[in-house]
Structure 1
Amino acid sequence: MAKRRKLEAPSAEDMNRIEAEFRRETPMKHLGAPIAQVAADTADAFESGTPDQRRDEAQAAAYRDAEEQGRVIRQIALDEIEPVSIPRDRTVLDKEALEELEYSISLHGVRLPIEVYEVKGSTNAKRYGLLSGYRRLVAQQNLYARGGHEKLARINAVVRDPDQMGGAFVAMVEENEIRQDLSHFERGRIAAIAAQQGAFANTEAAVAEMFAAASKAKRSKIRSFAMIFELLGDLLHFPEALREKDGLRLAQGLRAGAEPRLREVLGAQTAADAKNEWALIDAVLSEQGDATTDPKRGGRPRVALPKPGWSGTDTLHTSTGVTMRKESDSSGYVIRFSGKGVSDGLMEMLMRDIQEKLEKGGS
């Protein structure tokens, strides 16, 4: 039979030694009620709302950020947009190009959204002002007005928040300069208007910032056409038809003091078309001798014009530098026109005036 081993209780010295070793090998934890520790751990891991709610909140925050940065495309009703909340740089729309754009929109819609901004304190239904996309807006308005589909009542748009009016003008010009070149007069006109409305300190500053990418020579030409708009814009009926060389010549005449005479002539007669209007301008510039040449700077001397009035009974010198001379032969009478201001446009206008007087006289 196996002999039983007698167990002995450890001594107090052994217990102290065992406890000391245990403490050295085991890190001490805060002692507290178990439920309190569970509650603390749960609170640390807790996020308010359900997973779906937290996802929706994150998406809403991302949408707000995108909207503030102008990356959200909205569908805005056409009747909520004011196309001319700021003066447009483009004054004439090419009919053929606009019809092509309308056809494209009727097939595919507006692929590139327009840009608008919220109108502060609007008193009508126009909640938005147009920044860029004037041609696209007009094209879709035309389609909808002709009985287009209801989907055409709204247009894709991005809402911008321009830092200042200058930013709005620059954005508009940049779009048209890239997509469809502006006329010389349109460039000058919008620069002058931007300065007049306080977006820039003056026309010089407006041209410099709005057409910053243009060459120095091009900006100089824009300033010349801006002056034409400022001094004669209220009297010109066909300013967009001004050719570059004609506009620069007109600007030179204005600098030389031709404004009063030009305003007198243009205010007294209404041109039938662009050619007639330029004939009137050309006659005044010829009368003024264009810009007076400074002899110290060289160039051709100014030609003296005959004094206005009758010379004998058959010749009449006009104040515009045109001379009319009456002649006759066996076939009848002839009026001969001569002078620097004589042109095809002037002759066509005179013939219409004579026709009108003859027909009235014969009725």
Structure 2
Amino acid sequence: MAKRRRLEAPSAEELREMETGFACETPVSSRPPIAQVAAEAAALSVPIAGPDRTAAARDSADAGRLRRAEAEGLLVLEIPLAEIVAEELTRDRLRVDGEEMDELRASIKAHGLRLPVEVFRREGPGESYGLISGWRRLSAMRQLHAETGDARYAMIRALLRRPADVSSAYVAMVEENEIRSDLSHYERGRIAALAAGQGAFASVEEAVDTLFHAASKAKRSKIRSFAVIHEELGDMLGFAASLGERAGLRLAQALRAGYAGALRQALAGGQGDDPATEWALIEPLVKAAEGKAPDPARGGRPSRKGSGLRSGIRVEAEQDAKGFAIRFHGDRVDAALVERMMRELQRLLEG
């Protein structure tokens, strides 16, 4: 029979020796990782005093507000004059009052530029900006810098805007001048015609309705009449911006009545030296056209006819001063469908 060994508890001295041995053999890194990380972080962290914590929170909040202001176009920047392209958008203003410009330059000299201009960042290499509003302010600063060479006039304060597209930039430019009531009747019609011609809007009709959306229906109708004047006689009239409302509406009526050729002939024979003599050249033809029924193909609000199809597509035909247009509307209308329809139209017309 095997002899059983009697187990005895270690003495206190033996337990101390065992603990010492374990401590020497076990590395510090065998501690649980989270405990080690917490210990190191506690060793490195330095308590921040109450006032410093408040200042840090304030700095963080200020940085957030600054980023939001920049994103929303509310941040005033200082931009070199040379980096701003004033004619990036066709300007809506034709007339510049010399006395007003003198007063503006004197004000800037005395008090600095109080109101910043509005710009948007241009695409392409380099840092440059297109002007939205503030053409007179920018011109005054450039004149002062050219005259004095003073570095104070080499930079201009500007709000950086982010218009969604070129049509939005035109709206912003026109709205600023509308608020100040600075545009003449002709200038309003002209910018609508030019913006449509440059592709910012699908038609003059759309340009007028978008640029002057806050105007009454009657006022938009008058703007369209002055747009007709620009389209037909803009290159011939020397004092178009001086046309009053009544004279302009009479002239537009004559153009719609088919007198465009005769009016151009009258102006080509010799332009007037001032608004009165220029009007005297064309007034006989305007009087001759009065009472004559307008030609529906000579501008004004386009006439529309449309019909809906079972496919959900709506086909709409328009007629205006430029001719006829066919528009297709609906969720199923895409580039491939339009291309197919163009081929069918070509085959039909060739046959």
Cα distance change, pair 152–43 in 1 and its aligned pair in 2 (3 A): same
Cα distance change, pair 45–112 in 1 and its aligned pair in 2 (3 A): farther
Residue 60 of structure 1 deviates from its aligned partner by 5.3
Q: Which amino acid aligns with 1:67?
A: E
In structure 2, the partner of 1:198 is: 199
Q: Give distance in 2, aligned partners of 1:192 and 1:45.
A: 72
Query: Does 2:89 correspond to 1:101?
Result: no
Query: Taking every aligned residue pair, what percent have the same amino acid on both sides?
Result: 48
Query: Does 2:219 correspond to 1:218?
Result: yes
Matches within 5 A, 1:25-36: 33=31, 36=34
Residue 180 of structure 1 deviates from its aligned partner by 3.9
Cα distance change, pair 73–45 in 1 and its aligned pair in 2 (3 A): farther
CA contact (8 A) 1:253 1:291 kept: no
Residue 239 of structure 1 deviates from its aligned partner by 0.2
Cα distance change, pair 200–46 in 1 and its aligned pair in 2 (3 A): farther
CA contact (8 A) 1:82 1:126 kept: no
CA contact (8 A) 2:259 2:289 kept: no
In structure 2, the partner of 1:121 is: 124
In structure 2, the partner of 1:176 is: 177
Residue 223 of structure 1 deviates from its aligned partner by 0.5
- Superimposed CA distance per residue, residues 84-139 of structure 1 (whole angstroms, 9 cap, x where no aligned partner): 111011111122222221111111111111111111126xx871110011111112
Matches within 5 A, 1:276-355: 276-286=277-287, 288-292=288-292
Residue 181 of structure 1 deviates from its aligned partner by 2.5
Matches within 5 A, 1:141-156: 141-147=142-148, 149-156=150-157
Identify unmatched segments of 5+ residues in structure 1.
1-31, 295-363
Cα distance change, pair 262–42 in 1 and its aligned pair in 2 (3 A): farther
Residue 177 of structure 1 deviates from its aligned partner by 1.0
Q: What RMSD in Å do the two structures reach over aligned CA positions?
A: 2.9
SS in structure 1 opposite 2:208? helix
Q: Which amino acid aligns with 1:213?
A: A
- Superimposed CA distance per residue, residues 182-228 of structure 1 (whole angstroms, 9 cap, x where no aligned partner): 10000000111111111111111111111111111111110000110
SS in structure 2 opposite 1:146? helix
- Superimposed CA distance per residue, residues 40-60 of structure 1 (whole angstroms, 9 cap, x where no aligned partner): 37659999xx98999878765
CA contact (8 A) 2:119 2:129 kept: yes
2:83 to 73, 80, 93: 80
Q: Which moved more, 1:171-180 or 1:225-234?
A: 171-180
Query: Does 2:114 correspond to 1:111?
Result: yes
CA contact (8 A) 1:118 1:128 kept: yes
Matches within 5 A, 1:240-279: 240-279=241-280
In structure 2, the partner of 1:40 is: 38
In structure 2, the partner of 1:323 is: none
Q: TM-score, normalised by structure 2?
A: 0.67
Matches within 5 A, 1:11-26: none
Q: Give distance in 2, aligned partners of 1:46 and 1:97.
A: 66
In structure 2, the partner of 1:228 is: 229
Cα distance change, pair 228–45 in 1 and its aligned pair in 2 (3 A): farther
Q: Give distance in 2, aligned partners of 1:221 and 1:36.
A: 77
Q: Give distance in 1, aligned partners of 2:116 and 2:222.
A: 32
CA contact (8 A) 1:185 1:229 kept: yes
In structure 2, the partner of 1:315 is: none
CA contact (8 A) 1:76 1:156 kept: yes
Residue 276 of structure 1 deviates from its aligned partner by 1.2
Cα distance change, pair 264–61 in 1 and its aligned pair in 2 (3 A): same
Cα distance change, pair 86–35 in 1 and its aligned pair in 2 (3 A): closer
How many residue pairs get matched?
258
Cα distance change, pair 33–212 in 1 and its aligned pair in 2 (3 A): same
Cα distance change, pair 254–53 in 1 and its aligned pair in 2 (3 A): same
Q: Give distance in 2, aligned partners of 1:70 and 1:289.
A: 50
CA contact (8 A) 2:92 2:191 kept: yes
CA contact (8 A) 2:193 2:230 kept: yes
- Superimposed CA distance per residue, residues 72-93 of structure 1 (whole angstroms, 9 cap, x where no aligned partner): 1111111111111110111111
Matches within 5 A, 1:151-166: 151-166=152-167
Identify unmatched segments of 5+ residues in structure 2.
1-29, 295-351
Q: Give distance in 1, aligned partners of 2:39 and 2:69.
A: 37
Cα distance change, pair 291–255 in 1 and its aligned pair in 2 (3 A): farther
Q: Which amino acid aligns with 1:290?
A: E
Q: Give distance in 1, aligned partners of 2:199 and 2:42.
A: 57
Q: Which amino acid aligns with 1:115?
A: E
Residue 64 of structure 1 deviates from its aligned partner by 3.4
Q: Give distance in 2, aligned partners of 1:134 and 1:45.
A: 61
CA contact (8 A) 1:195 1:202 kept: yes
Query: Does 2:88 correspond to 1:90?
Result: no
CA contact (8 A) 1:256 1:291 kept: no
CA contact (8 A) 1:79 1:126 kept: no
Residue 66 of structure 1 deviates from its aligned partner by 2.4
Cα distance change, pair 62–222 in 1 and its aligned pair in 2 (3 A): same
Q: TM-score, normalised by structure 1?
A: 0.65
SS in structure 1 opposite 2:92? coil
